[in-house]
Amino acid sequence: MVSEGTARALLAKLAAEQAESRVPSLVAAIVRGGVVAWFGARGRVGDEPPTPDTQYRIGSITKTFVATAVMRLRDEGRLDLLDPFGKHVPGTPLGDVTVAQLLSHTGGLTAESPGQWWERTPGTPAADLLAALGPETARHRPGRRYHYSNLGYALLGELVARKRSAPWEQVVREEILLPLGMRDTTPRPRPPHATGYAVHPWADVLLPEPENDHGAMAPAGQMWSTPADLARWAAFLAGDTGEVLRPATLAEMREPATVEDGDAWARGYGLGLQLARHTGPGGPRRLAGHTGSMPGFLATVWADPADGVAVLWMANTTSGVRPLDTALLDILAEHEPPLPAEWRSSPVDEDLLELTGPWYWGPAPYVLRVLPRRGLSLGPVNGRGRASRFAPNADGTWVGLDGYYAGETLRVVRSPGGVTHLDLNTFVFTREPYDPAAPVPGGVDPDGWR
């Protein structure tokens, strides 16, 4: 739990937002180390204050569940992210758009579905939606740019349904929600739940917003959840995936596939996850999660995997809530900055210890360090240039995990006299700058340095 002073500062921020933005009810939570460290609520749901078990509509946070279901199919080998959509759902004019492009909103599809504004009207079956697609559904060349598409996630929901031979919401519930203990996350509301309202811009009166089953468009924003359940999802996004998803797959979903704002790169999108960069009292953060909005409701969940902290908030208003998530994270960082883990020595295999220290790529000095579980890191001494971490392979090589050498192979080349050089995807690293005793590509001038 947070300290009393931190809790008071967080509640003060929440209360000010609820009052100043005129929100019927507003809840928020901080998740740290996988558990709820603080929960706050203001306003009323009916005649009572909201609780961790009060349901709110979470809108496009639904997309993160659908994306997780797609990635589970990929991990099982039932599809490839580079597959064209038409391989799994034939007969549409969007057959060449890939699964990855749909996940990352780079497929070039129109933002909304054909017909009326889907968020305020009853939905139609998937067959009717697919039949209504035409040439105008594609607005940009696939892969060219980021263009958010609710329609794209409706199509992914249909893909999940066809691959599992079950409705998408059943798949999400059985494969994701129930294993995580999220029993109060449902496609339609259950009591107690908040009613969605529009707040009049110039008077303190409310207008109830409609709520419908959106049929084929439901995968884009149908779900309802509670602060308690969404806190478990926040812990999932921070890395506590349980048996639902491999941590490496979640890390892949958090990698930027595209950015929303060009050179600034403050907002981007991975595979089903929105991404954000934020700098506050705690330093720079890279957040992963999603926002959600439907008529009458707003919600947001962000996680920072680097320090295992996450934030969420939910409100029953159509619009008007200011960026509350990063403000709460900043308060937490200011009042309770995270402490670094204690350093402790750990044993290192002798064959790795002899690899540590300086290496040279041509004249450029690099340093190699040993990481836990026989991992390695290789980067420039001055910190400027290509750096990567490496994980061991069973055959005695290493594979790059990140940076320029991600996916590339690092080999330690030995002779009877010991290690002669490192071979990193044809780049040769030597113990001395351009060591003439090593097989430097192109050779070394026989007259040496002069």
pLDDT in tens, 163-214: 999 999 999 999 999 999 999 999 999 999 999 999 999 999 999 999 999 9
| Cα–Cα dist 97/112, whole Å | 16
Q: Percentage of the chain surpassing pLDDT 70?
A: 100
Whether the pLDDT of residue 325 is over 90: the answer is yes
CB atoms within 10 A of CB 268: 21
CATH architecture, range 4-335? 3-Layer(aba) Sandwich (3.40)
The tokens for 338 are 């995270």
**Do strands 274-280 and 375-380 pair parallel, antiparallel, or not at all (unpaired)?**
unpaired
Summary mean pLDDT of the chain: 95
Beta bridge partners, 30, equal 38, 311
Tokens of residue 37, six digits:
């460290």
What are the residue ranges spanned by the domains of the chain?
4-335, 350-429
Q: What crossing angle do the helices spanning 324-335 and 4-20 adopt, rounded to 10°? A: 160
How far from 35 is each of 2, 125, 171, 275, 325, CA to CA, in Å? 11, 39, 26, 22, 17
Question: 30 near 335, Cβ under 8 Å?
Answer: no
Q: Between the CA atoms of 409, 414, 420 and 423, what dihedral angle is there, to the nearest 10 degrees?
A: -10
As a whole number of angstroms, the distance between CA 243 and CA 175 comes to 10
pLDDT band at 340 (very low <50, low <70, confident <90, very high): confident
Instruction: Count how many residues are written for the chain.
Output: 450
CA angle 186, 187, 189 (to 5 degrees): 70
User: pLDDT tens, 239-272?
Assistant: 999 999 999 999 999 999 999 887 778 999 999 9
Helices (H) and strands (E) counted in the chain, each on its own, are 11, 20
pLDDT at 159: 98
Torsion of CA 217, 220, 225, 227, to 10 degrees: -160
Query: What confidence category does residue 43 fall into, taking pLDDT thresholds of 50, 70 and 90?
Result: very high
pTM of the predicted model as reported, rounded to 2 decimal places: 0.90
| Torsion angle, alpha carbons of 114, 120, 125, 128, to 10 | -20
pLDDT in tens, 59-116: 999 999 999 999 999 999 999 999 999 999 999 998 799 999 999 999 999 999 998 9
Give one DSSP letter per residue of 35-104, joined into a string: EEEEEEEEE-BTTB---TT-BEE-GGGHHHHHHHHHHHHHHTTS--TTSBHHHHS-SSTTTTSBHHHHHT
- Can you give the pLDDT at residue 248? 93
Q: Assign residue 350 a region: left if phi > 0, alpha if psi is -120 to 50, beta otherwise?
A: alpha
Judging by beta carbons within 10 Å of its beta carbon (0-12, 13-18, 19+), is residue 159 exposed, middle or buried? buried
What's the CA gap between 258 and 135, in Å, rounded? 24
pLDDT tens for 391-445 read 999 999 999 999 999 999 999 999 988 899 999 999 999 999 999 999 999 999 9
- Residue 260 is predicted with a pLDDT of 85
Residue 262 burial (C-beta neighbours within 10 Å; 0-12, 13-18, 19+): exposed
The pLDDT of residue 53 is above 90: yes
Tokens of 378: 């290789």
Tokens representing 357 are 């220290």
